[in-house]
Structure 1
Amino acid sequence: MEMLEKIRKAYTEYVLENGKQPTSVFQFAKKLKIAEADFYTQYTSFDAIEADIWLTFFTDAKTTVDADETYQGYSVREKLLAFYYTWIELLKSQRSFVVYSYGRMGHGARGMGRMKPQTPVLTLFKEAFFDYARDLLAEGRESKEVEPRPFVTDRYPNALWSQTLYLLDFWVRDVSKNFEKTDSAIEKSVNTAFDLIGRSPLDTLFDFAKFMYQNK
């Protein structure tokens, strides 16, 4: 773990000081006074370091909320809100790196529809988030906060991932005091999401239509 943290710290400092990745693993390892082989025991590339950092942002946020006894009693909607608030707080501590890495992904234009969710650096984060989202949605179905819908339910994790990318994009570009607008964006986007995936008058109408068809 010590070697892992040493590499990550040195890499973060390098990209922030130079605005780009090191030119080669050999030169990076030499400056760090470790063997090149030692680097490869931890990471296969510089992108792998960034992917690990993004994953750590997620796992640290999830570990933090999971350790909170109050969180365990929250509704699913409240749990997702708590996760996003905690995640953004962790990102704040390394905002310079986040802005650098995010910009390197090519997210030049604002807007959820223009983003690139398949960015390799975000792959580990995405996989971990999907596991979290599936568990959260399963809990929501049990508590009746999430309405199962044919052909749509399986897409719910994708929708929450797109929401996560939207919030990341919003926060990176947020210039409001203490990122207050991001807090509002989190609240509004999560509430809207659960209003859409929760039970609605349309579901009641569908159930009634189904009942009428089956009993005609």
Structure 2
Amino acid sequence: MAKKKNMTPDKLISFYMDYVLMHNQAPKSVYAFAKDNNFDEADFYKHFASFEALEKAIFKIFFNNTMRVLEASEDYQSFDARNKLLSFYFTFFENLTANRSYVVYALKDKGPKAMSTLSELKQAFKKFIDTLDIESIDIKEPRITKLQDYTKQESFWIQLMMVMKFWMDDTSASFEKTDIFIEKAINAGFDLMDVKPLKSVLDLGKFLFKEKMH
């Protein structure tokens, strides 16, 4: 009898991705999955509570791989928020493209299940957005500041979902249209969040208020 394999999270994920792409469905059970790949069922549960947990981990790994590449780049460290986010998108979608068949299987036409699968990616992405130091109105009210941060995170998350949907439907060579869409989406997002015009209006309001008070 062949010796049972020593499993790691990466090996489990590789076996799982191979299985679903070959069969167009998840394994029937962890037991069957373990038996097919010659490892102990208990080894699966050392790393993942279920196939759903494993699926969520896959997209978090795509994120981690992206950040590893970016953080190793000296140029990236000197970028402003807009260019850091652009760099993230281009690198992240390189990771997705390298695993396109699985990503399309996991997300396309999956509805609410797709959102559940992306939940760990969402949390990591929102924390990443917080690190970008995107300028916002400085209002000395904790509740408003918290709402601003939440709105910023959710807006960029929705933008990422839009780009992923566009990429999955993109039929252009080397997904060139997605690259164009990324640039336009990022630029539009930052332009909409540009606080300078609003700051000018607030400054004018403060000036007029002071003048009237005097």
TM range (shorter): 0.7 to 0.9
Q: Is the deviation greater in 164-173 or in 147-156? A: 147-156
The residue aligned with 1:147 is 136
The residue aligned with 2:33 is 28
Pairs within 5 Å for 1:34-183: 34-103=39-108, 105-106=110-111, 119-136=115-132, 139-140=133-134, 146-148=135-137, 151=144, 153-154=148-149, 155-183=151-179
Q: State the distance in 1 between where 2:207 and 2:91 align.
A: 44
Secondary structure of the residue aligned to 1:21 is: coil
AA aligned opposite 2:83 = E
Q: State the distance in 1 between where 2:65 and 2:57 align.
A: 12
The Cα shift of 1:210 comes to 2.4
Q: Is the deviation greater in 117-126 or in 32-41? A: 117-126
Task: Tell me, yes or no, if the aligned pair for 1:77 and 1:194 is still in contact at 8 Å.
Answer: yes
The Cα shift of 1:48 comes to 1.1
The residue aligned with 1:19 is 24
Q: Is the deviation greater in 117-126 or in 168-177? A: 117-126
The Cα shift of 1:54 comes to 0.2
1:213 and 2:209 aligned? yes
1:186 and 2:191 aligned? no
Provide closer, same or farther for how the CA distance between residues 2 and 39 of structure 1 changes in structure 2, counting only shifts above 3 A.
closer
AA aligned opposite 2:136 = E
| Structure number with larger C-alpha Rg | 2
Q: Is the deviation greater in 127-136 or in 117-126? A: 117-126
Task: Tell me, yes or no, if the aligned pair for 1:29 and 1:35 is still in contact at 8 Å.
Answer: yes
2:200 equivalent among 182, 195, 204: 204
- Normalised by the length of structure 1, the TM-score is 0.86
Q: Tell me, which stretches of 5 or more residues in structure 1 are unaligned? A: 107-115, 141-145
Deviations 1:118-145 (A, max 9, x none): 8221111111111100111xx23xxxxx
Task: Tell me, yes or no, if the aligned pair for 2:20 and 2:27 is still in contact at 8 Å.
Answer: yes
Task: Tell me, yes or no, if the aligned pair for 1:91 and 1:98 is still in contact at 8 Å.
Answer: yes
Q: Tell me, which stretches of 5 or more residues in structure 2 are unaligned? A: 1-5
The Cα shift of 1:117 comes to 9.6
- The runs of at least 4 aligned residues of structure 1 exceeding 3 Å deviation read 149-152
Provide closer, same or farther for how the CA distance between residues 153 and 132 of structure 1 changes in structure 2, counting only shifts above 3 A.
same
Q: Number of aligned residue pairs: give it.
A: 200
Task: Tell me, yes or no, if the aligned pair for 1:117 and 1:165 is still in contact at 8 Å.
Answer: no
RMSD: 1.9
AA aligned opposite 1:165 = M
Task: Tell me, yes or no, if the aligned pair for 2:66 and 2:92 is still in contact at 8 Å.
Answer: yes
